[in-house]
Structure formats: structure tokens, C-alpha cells
């Protein structure tokens, strides 16, 4: 029997290597017929379910494998990955910590554990795992790319630069690696631009598969002051995304309408909520605003204080609201969810969020959640946490919109790929900002990006004072903060504060005239 099972296991693993999932599944079933308590069979089933994007079944299979054989570090790390997918981050972190020592000679699972750590906001714990994986099995593209990405998050820019250069020397047509390399430093000449243009000529891919290299070329052309040409590539990228995004901005505008309608003063003051006893020694600070308005800069300033720490950008507030609404939908968030969540027990919303972030909390009394998108949920935040602080970043409308337009974003900011959609969304965001000022008053600390870069110390002192924190010099020296940051500004926040991005849009005044006219026609002052 043992020989048969061994043969089946070897056959399954050979099939796994070539992604022949039908054979893996068949072998797993045959093993279970021979031994229903085989951890290997359940592990193999988990791999099949994961490949078929069946996370619930994959989780159950890996849990069963680990129950049958607690020493199976491979099942543990696969299970941690499933927990990360399901946003059960605390469970993922606990599993990796428990099995980390057993991974010392497994490059595959060192790399996977590092990826899970990075996904759950613990990139600082991932670095040594990636490094060990690359030492054990050098020259593996995926391992190298993951290590480089983690290096950027940790401020190891030189090391990341060398890795991306090495990868591109082997695979010169890899568009995302060109994009990542372009982000790491300011272009000094057009050598990389010409190299990337040759990639476009050589590959002849459709526009929607050139998005990353379009943005990379645009960025380097902007570095070189070739404004009009840079805009052409930014527009190519945005248009390419827009053609495949299946996005209707009216859904997002309806969401803002519902928030303004539902989250009014009467709702806010109805049935006041008290913070759960277990969390009363923790003060959450939500740093919000449109993307690219200085939220990461402000987060770094505050988190450099001895009494504050950052959780980075978590999606837990939206996740909790989505879950508690009870609305079944493929949407990450919609107006129906907001209306339903507003009628639920707000205390439960508050507790669920704090439970979700508990794995990240250290000894410091103040913690920061810096997801820009949380500007939609300030009403829920204010009601769930009477002692919470909320910091809302505001930036020149044109600089704000253009900075978003030339950036690759994920699911949350699909409005940013079109100047028309950007204009419409900005107008509605401004309406929501005024609503929060009227409803929440001084509970929201507004920070003007331009004021912050113009007089860093004055604005830093004002922010800290409003947060109830004493001034500390470290907050001015935020560029020395060694903690990880996984945002689009991960490179910039390693620099001293500067004003180079103020009124940068004017270099593209001709191309951005339609956006400027739209904003001004809707009462938005453009300086």
C-alpha cells in the first residue's frame, strides 16, 4: 500500500509541476481510496481547488491535511495563503510565524510565505524569507521579482534596481519589470525610453497589454521634460484600461449620493456607540483623501512619532461594511450596501474592524489606517469610534486629478483612467468633502498638501496638536522612517519633503484644458 501511495504522490507532483490538474485530482482520489486519512491526498486536493479558484474548498482541504499531519509546513503555508485571500490576515500571520523555522530549506514555501506576509502588510517580515529563497535557488524569475518588489517597499531601492536590471537583461521584453525599474529613479537620458519603445515595436501587442510600459514611457518622458509626448503615452495607457474595464462611473456617483443621503447628522447622533472595552487604549487615525494627494506623506509624518504606528492601507473597513450589509454582490462596494449597513448595529461594525486589524497592533496607543478610499466611510468611522481621529488630505484639483491620471491603480479607482470621469468624480468628491465638514465639523482634520510642503514644521505641529500628540523632531525627519510602505509613493517617501509636484499640471496645460474647463464650470477653483 505504501508503495502505491508513494507512486501516486510522485505522479501527482509531476503533474503539479506541469499544471495538469486533472491528473493531480485523479491521483488524490486514488490515494484516498487506499488511505482516507492521507494528509498528502487532502493537500493535493487543496492544490486543485486553489487552481480552480475555489478558496473555501481549498481552505478546508489544507486544514484537513494539517489536522492529519501537523508537521506539514507546505499545507500550513498554502493555508496561510488562503487566509490572506479571504482577508483572515491574523490567522495567516499566526500560521507563518508558527511554521517559519521549518521553511529554511524550501525555496518555494519561503517565497510563498514572504508573499503572504507582504499581502497582509508585513513586508518587513518578508524580506529575509525572500532573500533565503533566492540564496537556495538563485536565478528564479519569480523569486527575484518578489524580492525586488519587497525591497522597494522597505526602501532598499539600490538592491531592487539591480534585481530589475538583471531580470531585464535576461527578459528584455518583460513590460512590468520595465515599469518597476522606471519608478525607482528619475530618468537622466532617453536610453531606457528608447529601449522600451523597441519592446513595443518588437512585440506588437494590443494596447490593453501594453498598459504598464505606456505608463513607464510616459513617466520617463515627463522626467525629461518632453511633456506633450509623455501625455500621449499616459493617454494611451488610460484609454487602453478604459476599453476593458467594464466601468460605469454612474455607479460610483450613486454611491456618493447614497452616502450623503444616509450618513447625515440625525443618523450620526442616533444611538451613540462606545468603544469596546478591550480596545479603549487604542486610538485609530484614518488618513484619507483622493489618491495622490499626500496621504502617504502625512501617514509617514504621523507614524514617525513615538506614540503612533501605521497599519498601511487596509481594506478592512470596507470589508466589514460589505459583510455586515448582507447584500450579495460582486461589487466591492455599492449604494445598496451602504444603505443596508447604515441600519445595522454600528457597534458590531466597530468591533469587527478592530478584531480584523488586531494582528498588526503593537504597544503604541495610536494606529493609522491610510487607505485613501476610506473617505467614503468617514460617517461610519465617526459613529463607530467616538475617539477616532480623521485626517483628510486636500490638494490642488488639477494636480490631484493629473497625478491620478498617470498612475496605475487597482479596483478602487477606475474613474482615474479618463479625464472625463476624473472631472465628474472630483466634483462629487468635493461635494462629499463639504458634507463631511458640515456633519463632522472639527472631528475631521483637513490638511492642504501645498501648505504641508510649503511649511513642513508649521503644518506638522498643527497636525500633531490636533491629534493630541506632542511635537517630535522625528516627524520632520520622516524620510528616515525605516518601516515598510506599499503605496504608489513608496519611493518618494524616502526623500526629504519637496515642492516639485506643486502645479506640475501646468506643464500639460494644453492637454488638460478640457478637465480644467469642466472643473471650473462646476464651481471648482483651479489655481
277 and 221 within one domain: no
| SS3 labels along 431-449 | HHHHHHHHHHHHHEEEEEH
Q: Is 282 left (phi over 0), alpha (psi -120 to 50) or beta?
A: beta
Asked which of 86-90, 244-248, 498-502 is least confident by mean pLDDT, the reply is 498-502
- Do 444 and 392 form a contact (C-beta atoms < 8 A)? yes
358 and 481 within one domain: yes
Q: What secondary structure does DSSP assign to 458-491, as a single string?
A: HHHHHHHHHHT----GGGTTGGG--S---STTTT
DSSP β-ladder status, 389-394 and 308-310: unpaired
Give the domain-ending residue among 229, 244, 259: 244
Looking at the chain, the whole-number percentage of residues with pLDDT higher than 70 is 96
Distance CA 450, CA 293 (A): 9
Q: What local confidence, expressed as pLDDT, does residue 482 receive? A: 74
C-alpha cell at 189: 537620458
Tell me whether residue 286 is in a domain.
yes
Tell me whether residue 117 is in a domain.
no
Whether 2 shows a pLDDT value over 90: the answer reads: no
pLDDT digits (tens, 9 = 90+) for 45-84: 999 999 999 999 999 999 999 999 999 999 999 999 999 9
Q: Name the one residue in this structure whose C-alpha cell is 454582490.
A: 329
Q: What is the CA radius of gyration of the chain?
A: 25
Q: How confident is the model at residue 157 (pLDDT cuts 50, 70, 90)?
A: very high
Tell me whether residue 315 is in a domain.
yes
- Provide the sign of the torsion angle of the four alpha carbons 242, 247, 248, 249, taken in this order: negative
Q: What is the pLDDT averaged over residues 429-455?
A: 96
Q: What is the pLDDT averaged over residues 305-321?
A: 95
Q: What is the pLDDT averaged over residues 217-242?
A: 97
pLDDT digits (tens, 9 = 90+) for 116-126: 999 999 999 99
387 and 275 within one domain: yes
> How many distinct structural domains can be found in the chain?
2
Tell me whether residue 398 is in a domain.
yes
- Provide the sign of the torsion angle of the four alpha carbons 176, 181, 184, 190, taken in this order: negative
Neighbours of 6 (CB within 10 A): 12
Distance CA 345, CA 334 (A): 19
312 and 207 within one domain: no
Q: Which residues of 35-59 are buried (b: 16+ CB within 10 A; e: fewer)?
A: eeebbbbbbbbbbbbbeeeeeeebb
270 and 195 within one domain: no
Q: What is the pLDDT averaged over residues 26-38?
A: 94
pLDDT digits (tens, 9 = 90+) for 192-223: 999 999 999 999 999 999 999 999 999 999 99
* 182: containing domain: 172-244
Tell me whether residue 130 is in a domain.
no
Best CA proximity match to 111, nearest among 93, 97, 130: 130
509 and 375 within one domain: yes
Q: Write the CATH number for 369.
A: 3.40.50.300
pTM over 0.85: yes
Distance CA 133, CA 163 (A): 14
Whether 527 shows a pLDDT value over 80: the answer reads: no
Tell me whether residue 43 is in a domain.
no
Q: How confident is the model at residue 488 (pLDDT cuts 50, 70, 90)?
A: low
Q: What local confidence, expressed as pLDDT, does residue 514 receive? A: 97
506 and 371 within one domain: yes
Task: Determine the 3-state secondary structure of 518 from DSSP.
Answer: helix
Q: What local confidence, expressed as pLDDT, does residue 1 receive? A: 44
291 and 186 within one domain: no
515 and 457 within one domain: yes
User: How far is the first Cα of the chain from the last one, in angstroms, to the nearest whole number?
Assistant: 79
Tell me whether residue 143 is in a domain.
no
Neighbours of 226 (CB within 10 A): 17
Whether 329 shows a pLDDT value over 60: the answer reads: yes
pLDDT digits (tens, 9 = 90+) for 277-306: 556 788 999 999 999 999 999 999 999 999
Give the domain-ending residue among 193, 224, 244: 244
Question: Could you give the strand order of the β-sheet that contains 444-448, starting from the edge strand earlier in sequence?
Answer: 308-310, 366-369, 283-288, 389-394, 444-448
Average pLDDT, the chain: 93
Q: What local confidence, expressed as pLDDT, does residue 500 receive? A: 83
At how many degrees (to 10) do helices 39-51 and 2-17 cross? 20
Tell me whether residue 103 is in a domain.
no
237 and 377 within one domain: no
Q: What local confidence, expressed as pLDDT, does residue 278 receive? A: 54
Distance CA 208, CA 240 (A): 5
Q: How confident is the model at residue 245 (pLDDT cuts 50, 70, 90)?
A: confident
Distance CA 320, CA 216 (A): 35
Give the domain-ending residue among 244, 268, 297: 244
320 and 199 within one domain: no
Question: Which residues make beta-bridge pairs with 391?
Answer: 287, 445
Q: How confident is the model at residue 436 (pLDDT cuts 50, 70, 90)?
A: very high
Distance CA 305, CA 246 (A): 43
383 and 480 within one domain: yes
Amino acid at each position: 500500500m505504501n508503495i502505491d501511495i508513494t507512486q501516486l504522490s510522485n505522479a501527482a507532483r509531476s503533474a503539479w509541476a506541469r499544471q495538469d490538474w486533472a491528473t493531480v485530482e485523479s491521483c488524490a482520489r486514488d490515494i484516498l481510496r487506499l488511505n482516507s486519512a492521507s494528509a498528502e491526498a487532502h493537500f493535493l486536493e487543496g492544490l486543485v481547488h486553489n487552481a480552480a479558484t475555489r478558496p473555501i474548498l481549498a481552505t478546508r482541504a489544507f486544514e484537513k491535511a494539517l489536522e492529519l499531519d501537523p508537521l506539514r509546513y507546505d499545507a500550513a503555508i498554502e493555508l496561510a495563503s488562503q487566509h490572506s485571500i479571504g482577508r483572515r490576515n491574523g490567522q495567516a500571520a499566526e500560521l507563518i510565524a508558527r511554521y517559519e523555522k521549518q521553511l529554511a530549506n524550501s525555496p518555494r514555501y519561503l517565497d510563498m510565505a514572504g508573499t503572504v506576509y507582504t499581502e497582509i502588510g508585513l513586508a518587513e517580515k518578508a524580506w529575509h524569507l525572500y532573500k533565503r529563497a533566492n540564496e537556495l535557488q538563485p536565478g528564479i524569475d519569480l523569486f527575484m521579482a518578489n524580492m525586488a518588489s519587497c525591497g522597494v517597499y522597505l526602501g532598499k531601492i539600490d538592491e531592487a534596481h539591480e534585481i530589475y536590471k538583471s531580470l531585464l537583461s535576461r527578459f528584455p521584453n518583460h513590460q512590468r519589470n520595465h515599469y518597476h525599474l522606471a519608478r525607482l529613479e528619475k530618468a537622466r537620458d532617453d536610453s531606457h525610453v528608447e529601449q522600451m519603445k523597441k519592446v513595443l515595436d518588437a512585440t506588437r501587442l494590443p494596447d490593453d497589454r501594453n498598459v504598464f510600459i505606456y505608463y513607464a514611457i510616459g513617466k520617463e518622458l515627463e522626467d525629461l521634460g518632453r511633456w506633450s509626448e509623455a501625455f500621449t503615452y499616459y493617454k494611451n495607457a488610460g484609454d487602453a484600461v478604459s476599453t476593458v474595464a467594464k466601468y460605469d462611473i454612474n455607479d460610483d456617483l450613486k454611491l456618493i449620493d447614497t452616502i450623503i443621503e444616509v450618513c447625515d447628522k440625525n443618523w450620526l447622533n442616533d444611538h451613540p456607540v462606545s468603544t469596546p472595552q478591550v480596545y479603549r487604549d487604542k486610538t485609530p487615525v484614518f488618513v484619507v483623501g483622493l489618491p495622490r494627494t499626500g496621504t502617504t506623506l502625512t501617514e509617514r509624518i504621523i507614524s514617525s512619532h513615538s506614540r503612533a504606528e501605521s497599519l498601511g492601507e487596509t481594506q478592512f473597513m470596507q470589508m466589514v461594511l460589505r459583510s455586515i450589509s448582507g447584500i450579495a454582490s460582486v461589487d466591492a462596494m455599492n449604494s445598496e450596501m451602504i444603505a443596508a449597513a447604515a441600519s445595522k448595529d454600528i457597534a458590531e461594525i466597530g468591533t469587527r474592524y478592530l478584531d480584523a486589524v488586531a494582528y498588526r497592533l503593537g504597544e503604541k496607543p495610536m494606529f493609522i489606517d491610510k487607505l485613501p478610499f476610506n473617505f467614503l466611510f468617514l460617517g461610519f468611522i465617526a459613529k463607530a469610534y467616538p475617539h477616532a481621529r480623521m485626517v483628510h488630505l486636500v490638494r490642488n484639483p488639477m494636480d490631484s486629478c493629473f497625478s491620478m491620471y498617470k498612475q496605475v491603480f487597482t479596483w478602487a479607482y477606475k474613474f482615474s483612467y479618463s479625464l472625463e470621469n476624473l472631472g465628474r468624480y472630483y466634483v462629487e468628491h468635493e461635494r462629499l468633502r463639504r458634507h463631511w465638514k458640515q456633519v463632522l465639523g472639527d472631528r475631521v482634520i483637513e490638511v492642504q498638501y501645498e501648505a504641508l510642503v510649503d511649511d513642513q514644521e508649521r503644518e506638522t505641529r498643527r497636525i500633531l496638536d490636533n491629534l493630541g500628540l506632542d511635537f517630535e523632531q522625528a516627524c520632520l525627519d520622516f524620510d528616515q522612517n525605516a518601516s515598510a510602505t506599499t503605496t504608489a509613493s513608496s519611493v518618494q517617501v524616502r526623500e526629504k519633503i519637496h515642492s516639485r509636484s506643486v502645479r506640475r499640471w501646468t506643464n500639460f496645460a494644453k492637454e488638460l484644458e478640457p478637465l480644467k474647463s469642466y472643473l471650473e464650470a462646476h464651481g471648482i477653483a483651479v489655481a
